[in-house]
Amino acid sequence: MGHVLKNCTSVRVCLDRIFRNERGQGLVEYSLILLMIAVVVFLMVQGLGSTTNNSFSAVNSAFTAGS
Protein backbone atom coordinates (compact mmCIF):
# COMPACT_ATOMS: atom_id res chain seq x y z
CA MET A 1 0.00 0.00 0.00
CA GLY A 2 3.06 2.23 0.18
CA HIS A 3 2.78 3.10 -3.52
CA VAL A 4 -0.70 4.49 -2.91
CA LEU A 5 0.54 6.87 -0.24
CA LYS A 6 3.39 8.40 -2.27
CA ASN A 7 3.16 12.16 -2.65
CA CYS A 8 0.11 12.56 -0.40
CA THR A 9 -0.40 16.25 0.12
CA SER A 10 -3.23 15.94 2.65
CA VAL A 11 -5.17 13.36 4.60
CA ARG A 12 -8.09 13.71 2.20
CA VAL A 13 -5.90 13.02 -0.84
CA CYS A 14 -4.40 9.97 0.91
CA LEU A 15 -7.83 8.59 1.84
CA ASP A 16 -9.13 9.15 -1.68
CA ARG A 17 -6.17 7.23 -3.10
CA ILE A 18 -6.61 4.37 -0.64
CA PHE A 19 -10.32 3.94 -1.31
CA ARG A 20 -9.93 4.22 -5.08
CA ASN A 21 -7.28 1.50 -5.11
CA GLU A 22 -9.09 -1.63 -6.36
CA ARG A 23 -6.15 -4.05 -6.65
CA GLY A 24 -7.53 -6.46 -4.02
CA GLN A 25 -11.16 -6.26 -5.09
CA GLY A 26 -11.07 -9.41 -7.23
CA LEU A 27 -9.48 -11.42 -4.44
CA VAL A 28 -12.20 -10.36 -2.01
CA GLU A 29 -14.95 -11.24 -4.48
CA TYR A 30 -13.49 -14.68 -5.18
CA SER A 31 -13.07 -15.26 -1.43
CA LEU A 32 -16.73 -14.45 -0.80
CA ILE A 33 -17.84 -16.76 -3.61
CA LEU A 34 -15.64 -19.55 -2.24
CA LEU A 35 -17.08 -18.98 1.25
CA MET A 36 -20.65 -19.22 -0.05
CA ILE A 37 -19.85 -22.43 -1.95
CA ALA A 38 -18.25 -23.91 1.18
CA VAL A 39 -21.34 -23.09 3.28
CA VAL A 40 -23.67 -24.68 0.69
CA VAL A 41 -21.52 -27.82 0.47
CA PHE A 42 -21.36 -28.06 4.27
CA LEU A 43 -25.14 -27.81 4.57
CA MET A 44 -25.67 -30.39 1.81
CA VAL A 45 -23.25 -32.86 3.41
CA GLN A 46 -24.85 -32.32 6.80
CA GLY A 47 -28.31 -33.03 5.38
CA LEU A 48 -27.08 -36.02 3.39
CA GLY A 49 -25.36 -37.38 6.51
CA SER A 50 -28.59 -37.20 8.51
CA THR A 51 -30.53 -38.95 5.73
CA THR A 52 -27.89 -41.68 5.42
CA ASN A 53 -27.80 -42.17 9.19
CA ASN A 54 -31.58 -42.56 9.30
CA SER A 55 -31.47 -45.11 6.47
CA PHE A 56 -28.78 -47.21 8.15
CA SER A 57 -30.63 -47.01 11.47
CA ALA A 58 -33.79 -48.34 9.80
CA VAL A 59 -31.85 -51.21 8.18
CA ASN A 60 -30.15 -51.99 11.49
CA SER A 61 -33.50 -52.01 13.30
CA ALA A 62 -34.95 -54.37 10.67
CA PHE A 63 -32.05 -56.80 11.09
CA THR A 64 -32.27 -56.62 14.89
CA ALA A 65 -36.03 -57.23 14.86
CA GLY A 66 -35.65 -60.14 12.42
CA SER A 67 -33.14 -62.01 14.56
CA 38 – CA 27 distance, rounded (Å) = 16
The total of other beta-carbon atoms located within 10 Å of residue 11's CB is: 8
* Residue 3 or 48, more confident: 48
DSSP code for 10: S
Report pLDDT digits (tens) over 43-66. Answer: 999 989 888 988 989 899 888 887
Q: What is the pTM of this model?
A: 0.51
- Asked if residue 50 is part of any domain, the answer here is yes
Residue 4 pLDDT greater than 70, yes or no: no
Number of domains forming the structure of the chain = 1
Residue span of the structural domain in which 29 resides: 25-66
- Asked if residue 4 is part of any domain, the answer here is no
* Residue 39 or 27, more confident: 39
CA 24 – CA 2 distance, rounded (Å) = 14
Task: State residue 35's pLDDT score.
Answer: 96
